Structure 1
Amino acid sequence: MEFTQLTSEPLHEQAYATLRNALLMGRLVPGQSLTIRGLGASLGISATPVREALQRLIAEGALELAPNRTIQVPVMTRRRFVEVTEIRLRLERFAAEAAAARADEKLCDRLQTLSERMHAAIAEGRFPDYLADNQTFHFLIYEASDLPYLQQLIGLCWLRTGPWLNRLAQEGRFHAIANEEHDNMIAALRHGDVQAVSEAAGRDISEAATVLIELLPS
């Protein structure tokens, strides 16, 4: 896998951000092994910042150290996925509710632009672009909650489910529902409707989970 090479300091932070984004976007797949040497070559940096970035991701549970000392992307089981989904439903609905009281027209217009881009990405088969805009869409809402620790917890959950997201690429039913719920969230935020934005956020998570859980090993 090729990454954009890094050139400025601090390199370990850039390496962490790049690898974290790759996990969130499903560019690294469950069970995939990673090596410090290989990542360093792809990023154009030495082993030390790569090692620091990997250690941080291991500490967060986004990567794991196998018994043979190999670093790999964790394989999600159904039981773990159900647990993470239940946590996400509580955290992300809470964040969306908090955002409803603070959202302004500028935020809603940005979300509308992202929604239109996601519609176009799905229509044109550009699923990686869809995933990138989808992440931006949700975290713009969560940032509006002005609850940084809550955002951090949500990010940890996304790191665990991200490697499976590309499995949704061929699921047309999910795309239609997800885009509809995004539009419902925008409408609710424009009206400051706490309950409506919470319910739309919950449906968005639940519909994706319903599809993904069938793909996971028991």
Structure 2
Amino acid sequence: MLDNSLGPVSSRITIGDRVYLQLRDALITGRFDPGQALTIAALAKSFQTSPMPVREALRRLGAENAVEMASNGSACVPTVSVERLDDICRARVAIEGLATQLAAETVQPHEMEAIEQSMAEHEAASTKADVYDMLLRNRDFHFRIYSASRSQVLAQLIDSLWLRYGPYMRMLSSYIAPRMGTGLHKPFANHHHAIVAALRQRDGAAAREHMIADITGTQALLQDLCRAETGLSPDISGK
């Protein structure tokens, strides 16, 4: 079934752009299941639009590798695999690590305040039942840091990577939702605190190291979830 957060679009920007932006945001936050079909008719009904803007939005998302296009113009969310996950995370480590290191050199006091506020909001959200709110707060935390790097190119590349990471966010949210309030978030909160401390000290190398640890910590969890999804045994080698 399609996510019920989709709704009628506004006419303040073009309908096609609004459909694209809503679908893009839904994908990047993991609102769709891996492999889920996204049909033009169903999406047009959800958005209360004609098929044309939906078809164009899917075409744009296909060009960004966020969905896989079918010959009839419909699309599906990419499936998950350890190999795809590792490929995305390899790029995330390189690019987000660099952006974090640069941010340590250029972050301004008002930006540090906003980063710390996002960190606090993420921790507060982890005690509630809305897993998507928690993940959105996590995204805000990360992107405030990347914005402070002053690199538009890196920010655009990171945005593209997070879009392709969407199916794994869905897996993560499904795993976290029944465990909200159990302390599952604490290791990741610790990474956030370490990143913030390094940014405050303008220690780019340490900030980069802790950001990489944050990414790879989630990657390790998702590797096991991917193996379970595909019927493979979890890696218990500790490597």
| TM bucket, shorter chain | over 0.9
Q: Deviations over 1:125-172 (max 9, x none)?
A: 321101111111111111111211221211121112222221441385
Quote the Cα distance in structure 2 between the aligned partners of 1:24 and 1:174: 22
Aligned position for 2:191: 181
1:31 matches 2:38: no
Aligned position for 1:7: 10
Q: CA deviation at 1:173?
A: 6.3
Quote the Cα distance in structure 2 between the aligned partners of 1:91 and 1:78: 20
Note if contact 1:33-1:71 (Cα within 8 Å) is conserved in structure 2: yes
Aligned position for 1:202: 212
Number of aligned residue pairs? 218
- TM-score, normalising length: structure 2: 0.85
CA RMSD, aligned part only? 1.8
Aligned position for 1:213: 223
Q: How does 1:37-186 map to 2 (within 5 A)?
A: 37-66=41-70, 70-165=74-169, 166-169=173-176, 170=179, 175-186=185-196
Note if contact 2:40-2:74 (Cα within 8 Å) is conserved in structure 1: no
1:21 matches 2:25: yes
Gaps of 5+ in 1: none
Note if contact 2:66-2:78 (Cα within 8 Å) is conserved in structure 1: yes
Higher relative contact order (CA 8 A, sep 6+): 1
Q: CA deviation at 1:16?
A: 1.4
Cα 1:20–1:78 shift into 2, 3 Å: same
Q: CA deviation at 1:69?
A: 5.9
Q: Which amino acid is the alignment partner of residue 102 of structure 1?
A: T
Note if contact 1:184-1:197 (Cα within 8 Å) is conserved in structure 2: yes
Quote the Cα distance in structure 2 between the aligned partners of 1:143 and 1:168: 29
Q: CA deviation at 1:196?
A: 1.4
Quote the Cα distance in structure 1 between the aligned partners of 2:61 and 2:184: 29
Quote the Cα distance in structure 2 between the aligned partners of 1:96 and 1:168: 27
Gaps of 5+ in 2: 233-239
Shifted more, 113-122 versus 164-173: the winner is 164-173
Q: Which amino acid is the alignment partner of residue 176 of structure 1?
A: K
Calculate percent identity across the aligned residue pairs: 33
- TM-score, normalising length: structure 1: 0.93
Note if contact 2:55-2:73 (Cα within 8 Å) is conserved in structure 1: no
Quote the Cα distance in structure 2 between the aligned partners of 1:168 and 1:107: 32
Note if contact 2:59-2:69 (Cα within 8 Å) is conserved in structure 1: no
Note if contact 2:26-2:32 (Cα within 8 Å) is conserved in structure 1: yes
Note if contact 1:29-1:164 (Cα within 8 Å) is conserved in structure 2: no
